[in-house]
Structure 1
Amino acid sequence: MRFITKKEKKFSFIEAGEGHPLVLLHGLMGGLSNFDNTVKFFSDRDYKVFVPVMPIYDLPILNTNLTTIAKYVAKFIEEKTTEPVTVIGNSMGGHIGLILTLARPHLVKNLVLTGSSGLYERTFGDSFPRKSDKEYIKKKTEEVFYDPAIATPELVDEVFSVVNDRMKGIKTVMLARSAIKHNMLNDLPKITAPVCLIWGKQDNVTPPEVAVDMHKFLPTSDLYWIEKCGHAAMMEKPNEFNEILYEWLKKVENKKMEV
C-alpha cells in the first residue's frame, strides 16, 4: 500500500491515523516506501504516523551532515505535533534519532532503533567503485538483506540512480562520513528515554555486536532479535517487526501508568 506524500511549507511527509505520534526516519539510501507496512499497521491502531522526507540531497554542501538533518526533524516535530513523539529510525535514521533524543529530549518520548548507525557501520566506503556497473550495484544492494529478493529491480534502479548522480553521490558520501565520524558511544549513557532495539540477526551493515553494545550502554533499553533478517527489518520482516514494536510500546506505556 502506498500513501500520498503531503507538502506543507518546507516539509514533505506521509501522515496517517490518529493517536500517539510516531515519527519514522528512513536511512541514507532509503525512502518513505521502506515503512509502508509499518505506516499501515500503526495507523490502524490508534497511532498518528508521520514519515518525513529527509533533506539528504537538498542541504548546502557545508551543512550536509547528520546534525543538520536532526535539527530539521526537530522542527518537523515541533510543527506537526503537540506532544513528545516516538521516533523510529532505521540505519542513518536511527543515528539521527539518537542525536535528536540527546539534543532535544523533551521532544522524544520513546526511541526505536533498527539497524542504526552511531557506533559502527559498513558502507560503500569513500566512493562508489564501479558505480556504472549495474550488476555490482545490484550485488551491493542485495547484501543489505538476508533475502536478496527484497532488493527488487525498482530498488536497485533507485540506488543506481543515486550513485550515478554526481551531486547526490557526493552528498551520500559526505553523510556516510558524517555518520562514521559522529560516534555516540560516550553519549549513549546520557539518553534517558526508553529505547527499543529491533535488530536483524544477519545484519551485515550494522552487525549484531552493534546492537549488543548499544543495549549495554543505553540506560533504559530492550533488545529484540529477528532471525533470517538483514539491515532493514521493517522491510524484510515487517510482520515480526510491527508486532515486536507494538507489544513494546504497550509495555512501556503500562510501566509509565504504574509509576
Structure 2
Amino acid sequence: MEAISPIKRLAIHGVELYYEHYENPGKHTLVCVHGFLSSAFSFRKLIPLLRGHYEIIAVDLPPFGQSEKSRTFVYTYTNLAKLLIGLLEKLNISQAALIGHSMGGQISLSAALLKPELFSKVVLLCSSGYLKRSHPSIIFGTHLPCFDLYIKYWLSKEGVLKNLLNVVHDQMLINQEMIDGYEKPFTDRQIFKAMTRFIRHREGDLQPDELKRIDKPSLLIWGEEDRVVPFSVGERLHHDLPDSILYSLKETGHLVPEERPEFVSERILEFID
C-alpha cells in the first residue's frame, strides 16, 4: 500500500500555505514553526524523533519555503500567527503545542496570545525576542522600486554557506544536502519582492507586558554559543514568561533543531507528556 504523502497545501486567509502533516490519530498535535530565511526543512532531524509520539504539522511561513510569495499579504507577526490559527481551525484541530525556532518562536508566542484556548504549551528554540520594528529609513527604502534587487544582492553576497557557518557551532555538520535544502526556496525570484513587504510590515517582537500575559507552560532551549539570538535573550524570556523552564546547551549555536535534535526531542517528550 502506497504511503500517504505528508506534503499538503491549503489556502488560509487568501494565502496558499505549504505544510507537512505527519498524521498520528489520537495523539497530541505539535506545530513546528521555523525562523527567518528558513522553512520546515529546519525540523528535518527533529520530526523523525517525534512523529511516533505525536501528530506533527510543520509549516512554511509565507513568503519563505514553498508557501506563496504573496505581494498583497501584510506580513506582520500577528497576521502570520493568524495563519497558524486558521490552518489548525481548517484541519479541525482543537488543541496543539507550538514549537518555534528563532523568529518562529516569536510568532508562536503571538499565536498563543491571540487564541490561548487553542494552544496547550509552547516550546521556544533560540527564539527571537525584544527586537524592535525596522528603522524608519529601512522601511522608507522598501518603497523604492529596486529594493528587492538589493535584498537579492545582499543574500547572494552572504551566501547560504556563510549564513550556515554563523548559525551552527560545529561546522562539520554542514554538508551539501544541508546547503541545498536551505538554498532551494531562494531560487524562486518572487521571494525578494515578498521579503520587501515582510521587512516593511514586521511590527517588532512582543513586549514584556504582553509576554507576562502568556500563562502557557513554556520550554526554552538555547545554545550557549548562539551568535544570532544570545543566551541572554533566553534568560530574559524565561524571566518574563510566567511559567517557563530554560535549558542551555554548551558548544551549541543557533540552529538547535539541526545541532542537538536528540536532546531537544527528549526535553519535548518530557515537557509535553
TM-score, normalised to structure 2, is 0.78
The answer to whether the Cα contact below 8 Å between 1:142 and 1:149 also exists between their aligned partners in 2 is no
Q: Which residue of 1 aligns with 2:146?
A: none
* Residue matched to 1:52: 59
Question: What is the CA-CA distance between 1:43 and the residue it aligns to?
Answer: 1.7
Name the structure 2 match of 1:63: 74
Question: What amino acid does structure 2 have at the position aligned with 1:223?
Answer: L
Q: Give how far 1:164 is off.
A: 7.4
Match of 2:18 in 1: 12
Q: Is the 8 A contact 1:162 1:169 kept in 2?
A: no
Aligned residues: 243
Equivalent residue, structure 2, for 1:199? 222
Deviation at 1:180, TM superposition (A): 6.8
2:104 matched residue in structure 1: 93
Task: Report deviation, 1:118.
Answer: 2.8
In structure 1, stretches of 5+ residues that fail to align are 251-259
Instruction: Tell me the amino acid that sits aligned with residue 232 of structure 2.
Output: E
8 Å contact from structure 1 (residues 189, 218) kept in 2: yes
| Equivalent residue for 1:31, pick from 36, 39, 42 | 39
What percent identity do the matched residue pairs reach? 25
- Give the whole-Å Cα distance in 2 for the aligned partners of 1:229 and 1:92: 18
Question: Within 1, Cα distance between the matches of 2:252 and 2:200?
Answer: 26
Pick the aligned partner of 1:228 from 251, 254, 258: 251
Whole-Å Cα distance in 1 between the matches of residues 191 and 248 of structure 2?
33
1:1-259 mapped onto 2 (5 Å cutoff): 4-8=6-10, 10-16=16-22, 17-18=24-25, 19-45=27-53, 47-56=54-63, 57-61=68-72, 63-120=74-131, 128=151, 130-133=154-157, 136-157=159-180, 167-172=190-195, 174-175=197-198, 181-250=204-273
Residue 115 and residue 186 in structure 1: after superposition, are their counterparts in 2 closer, same or farther (change >3 A)?
same
Is contact 2:41-2:182 (8 Å) kept?
no
Find the aligned partners of 2:183 and 2:21 in 1 and give their Cα distance: 28
Whole-angstrom CA distance in 2 between matches of 1:218 and 1:159 = 31
Deviation of 1:94 (Å): 0.8
Per-residue deviation at 1:152? Answer: 3.0
Q: Distance in 1 between matches of 2:92 and 2:226?
A: 33
Deviation per CA, 1:195-242, whole angstroms, max 9, x where unpaired?
Answer: 110111111111100000000010000001122111121111111111
Return 5+ residue gaps in structure 2 as ranges.
139-149
Give the alignment's TM-score, normalised by structure 1.
0.82
In structure 2, C-alpha distance between the alignment counterparts of 1:72 and 1:94, rounded to whole Å: 15
